Structure 1
Amino acid sequence: MDARGLRALSIVLVVVCSVAAAVAPIGAAADPGSRPAALQAEDELALEDADQIVMDVFIAENGSALVTVDYQFRYGENGTSKAAWERLRTDVESDTEAYVDAERTKWNDTVADGANETGQNMSLSNLSIATENETALQKIGHVEVSFRWESFAAVEINQLTAGPALSGFTLDDDTRLQFRWPAGYSIYENDGQPQIDPSPSNRTDDMVIWRGSEVGFADERPWIVLIEDGGSNANTTATPSNEGPTMPWTIVVLALALLAAVGAGGWLLGRERTADNGSKREAERPTQPDGSTGSASNAADGPPPELLSNEERVLRLLEERGGRIKQQAVVSELGWTEAKTSQVVGDLREADEIEVFRIGRENVLSLPEEDEE
């Protein structure tokens, strides 16, 4: 090859190398694995990024607890983007087992710390995870983690002591912790002092609530003592007497007869009032196109259930049932878990939207009665 041919070959080689050098960076930039981690993680959510975390602990009579941790994401204006929430929701639903494993590992560590703190034999079981999407005006996405915590509370005859198992647990500003207990139990009082620490943000007959923005835990854990109704709720013990009754039996029998008469009269009077009120409500009910009366028209006139908040759905159900319904019926009608139902009921009661009382061992919800002039 002469000198002219060598020169031409050199020029070709230089051009080829220059093109290869220019193409290589383009290929690298197109590789998604080479992008900065900050860009890859942009707008991605983890459970700990929730706008609010509600930890509900229902304490059973045997000391075990049903725990539900509700991670709430408010999406829309001034909140989490809807796209970010939908990505997290899809990720949880498509790779549920991975999230279950991660939550089980985290909570197993918490249970182990609680066992070391209390000396009780604790364990975690039946952990599950689910998502839910509210379509109310304030859009909220939920990721709910539920599990059973064995020996969460210490059991002693008719008392339950709960809280020390949460060794090292802290309340952030966006975290809410609530303890609930079965009907037939109440907070133990010693010399008139409720055995609960710290003082809760809110307290009802069957629930206490601590909000991280309002309270802090001494020694980084809560503490509460519950006693079965009918047990001793004071620091004194009754002394039995060997003496017979000092009141003549005749007086006792007459007093009982008088009480029975008063009770019967009150029952008849109440029955008449109930009948009158029922007739009045029946007359005020709007007539349906088919000539019948009832509350169906109220439900039809209002917005569909998917546009109502959880609280509004409970209030509508109460109105449809004449202003009174058992809490367990709300669970069945709306298809919610007991933990979620108790949380919504607690919020409504705290806002004075409803009243809650017991019949036997069941909670009954009712709309507040308006004072009549």
Structure 2
Amino acid sequence: MRCRVPVLVCALLLCLVAAGAAPALAQPDAEETHFEAQLQDDGDAEWTIAVSVPFTNETDRDRFDSFAEAFEAGREDLDPGHGAFQRAAAEAERAADREMAVTAPRRDSAIVEDENGTEYGELRVTFVWESFARIDDNGTLYVDDAFNTTNGPWLPGLEDDQSLTIAAPPGYAGPTTSPIGAEEGDLHWEGPETFGPGYFTIVYPQSSPGPAPDVGISTMLLWGALLLSGAALLLGLYLLVARHWPPTGRRSGSGSEETPPDASADSPPPGGASAEPTSDDAAGSDAETADDEIDMELLSDEERVEYLLEQNGGRMKQANIVKETGWSNAKVSQLLSSMADEDRVDKLRIGRENLISLPGEGIDDIDTNDK
């Protein structure tokens, strides 16, 4: 009977060899493991598990190559890997009472060189967790119940060499509700961490506005300077138009002079002149309508004198200019002298009065009874 035991053991080993069975390969020791969930706008999440394996000698590299070959062929899995997430999705589906599934696994490995020229191995597995996030009628994504099971979260925490990233879905800004602050819309945890029941409550509103742009003081000053420049330009254009509009008065087609409106009969005329009405005053009513259309305050002193001369056939007595403008004799005299020096008016002494005329009017037909 004792002889049969070794025989049975040998027979079992021979059967295993004949069937192609081989002992499982141990996963190489990881230096770092990173979990990343890239959310999609339909509620799915593309998960990636990346394991970095350091090489201290050729034996480590040979062990990595052997495991990587079996891993890519699907004979080996990471710990935790695709199989662990399949079980987690099944538990979360039961707890949340909604359909979920882990599908489309892809495995790959590579020898990577860091910035210092040191080589290390990397094992990666990616898969899709369907319906990882909930979506309401407004398009808001909720990441919460996919982490829960009936016995608490399937991811109770992170170890020292582990990290987790949950990336915002395309077209969404950062979360409005999350257990930690977001960095450019993404959430990132570095181990060691502990996640209790209900820890993962993350909300991504659709078309959530991002942070307000940072407007620097230099930008504000630039816009202020542009606004002030625009206002100054508009004011300059207004003053330029006001200075030259409306145009100077017209002469009547018959050559007769249009008489300016009469001064008020209730007060004596400026400059101490007699309050008795003259023939000039009686003719003023014909020009009242034209004067009503002119805003005299918009004209300069010189333009106002020119306007009065235009309204009166091109020439007026200096005393009548004083009366029509309401200015003092001294101001009118000084203004007319200056305009005469600039050839804007001509002055002719007739008796004890000055006759003021526009250049080119001529003085041959001047009557002493002229204005």
Q: Is the radius of gyration larger for structure 1 or structure 2?
A: 2
- Select the structure with the greater relative contact order (CA < 8 A; seq sep ≥ 6): 1
**Fold-level similarity (TM above 0.5):** no
Q: What's the TM-score, normalizing by structure 2?
A: 0.44
Q: What's the TM-score, normalizing by structure 1?
A: 0.44
